[in-house]
Amino acid sequence: MDVVLVTLDQLRADCLGVAGHPVVETPNLDALAARGVRFARHYAQAAPCAPGRAALYTGTYQMVNRVVANGSPLAAHFDNLALLAQRAGYHPVLFGYTDQGIDPSTADGPTDPWLDTYEGILPGFEAVVHLDGHQQAWVDHLAELGYGPLSADEALSTEPDRPAELSASAFLTDRILEWLDTQAGPVFVHASYLRPHPPYAAAGEYAKRYDPADCGTPIAPAEERHSLHELALQVPVCAAPTDPAEMAQLRAQYFGMITEVDAQVGRLLEGFAAAGRDEVVVIVTADHGEQLGDHGLIQKLGFFEESYRIPLLIAAPGGATGRVVEDFTEAVDVLPTVAELLGQPVPAQANGRSLMAFLEGGEPEQWRQAAHYEWDWRDLVMGAHHVDGPRDLRLDRCNLAVHRSATHAYVQFGDGDWICFDLEADPTWRTTVGDPEVVLPLAQAMLTWRQAHLGGPYTELLLGSERRGRWPAALSVPSVS
């Protein structure tokens, strides 16, 4: 059985045709949903890229893995999807990037070049084509065709000026299909596409696919904003354009990027079918979402769910087809699900739960009633942006966590502040509630969630020969060489 894990960087959950978007066309992702299961209330655990992916790859919440920013190292003791695939007998390969910083304790001395980048490769993967922020292999390919020399930013920003067949997404698909032609036996492939990540410039004809006038208007900011919302607006790359025409053009380009990368996912899956690979598990998701002008913001940050609600589509041989799951699911659920699909024990560190019951057409017992995600913003204070925060603010308090239930969103800030949104009355996240009878149970639910997932993968195990028989059957203890 083959496994294909596709990540589409910065893709919002609502920007799929099958999700009811009135403008965006995603025929290939829609077709995948029809032959599998779409998880309609799925959430990333953190933003930006490295934190979001750390949760996806390790099955752990940010409060456990502590990858709090692009540049935070991922500790070497964490298990991950690639190592899991190895234990199942695969040789997992990467096309694209994983953005996981090296654990400094494993570095080859202080001059190890991997210490100079957060765009490292997740341990366990062989990077057949590594496309980090420099996009070097693609940029070199363009230069060979007479486009260049270009930097990655220049190449991405000028995608509308070249045929779509030369896009960054098409290049990645081409390399995967070329490699696939050389393979015999089952494969485990991680196809990590950059798009629809900025710059907001769709490839070729997709740049004109959508009329900006048809692309809708963002959710306007509330009249009364939390201080962190005001702070986020200070970050140049995160403040949405104030010119309506510029904002409409940005949305049109974002939608165009989605449709273009949807076409590439279609090519990828057609390639597997053409190769006679019919037994394929396909997982399509994102690392985080995109504000897209909502609340006056673009990119990914803060507490609004546009930055965290993402797609998850899973099609597995013999599984349910055309099913839409409305229960809350999270990125940390992917690792346990892949473990069960591959017949492996669920790693003991996993904070998520397997989605197999949903994939088989059933319902799991005692499923969660809310989703959770976190955002750590210390890098805004200590990093390149240098925004103005309170002078006495400690870096370890520059964080927040969100408890998102069906009716409310409770946000707890690291400095003790909080805010609660009444989503039943106003799903746009602009109506707050302060009634203690409403807020207290939500705050208690968040505290219970945090206490249930405190760090330490072996808290459910007690050593001793007489106790081993009582270890949870679903948990595995990785072998150490």
Active site positions, annotated: 49
* Greatest CA separation for the chain: 70
Strand order through the sheet with 323-330: 126-130, 93-96, 188-193, 2-8, 280-285, 312-315, 37-43, 323-330
Q: Nearest Cα to 59, choosing from 480, 470, 481, 478?
A: 478
Please measure the distance between the N-terminal and C-terminal CA atoms of the chain and give it in whole angstroms: 28
Quote the CA–CA distance of 159 and 167 in Å, as a whole number: 7
What beta strand segments (E) does 316-393 contain? 323-330, 346-347, 371-376
Quote the CA–CA distance of 126 and 111 in Å, as a whole number: 23
Quote the CA–CA distance of 125 and 106 in Å, as a whole number: 16
Cα-Cα-Cα-Cα dihedral of 327, 331, 333, 335, to 10°? 160
- Give the other-Cβ count within 10 Å of 444's Cβ: 12
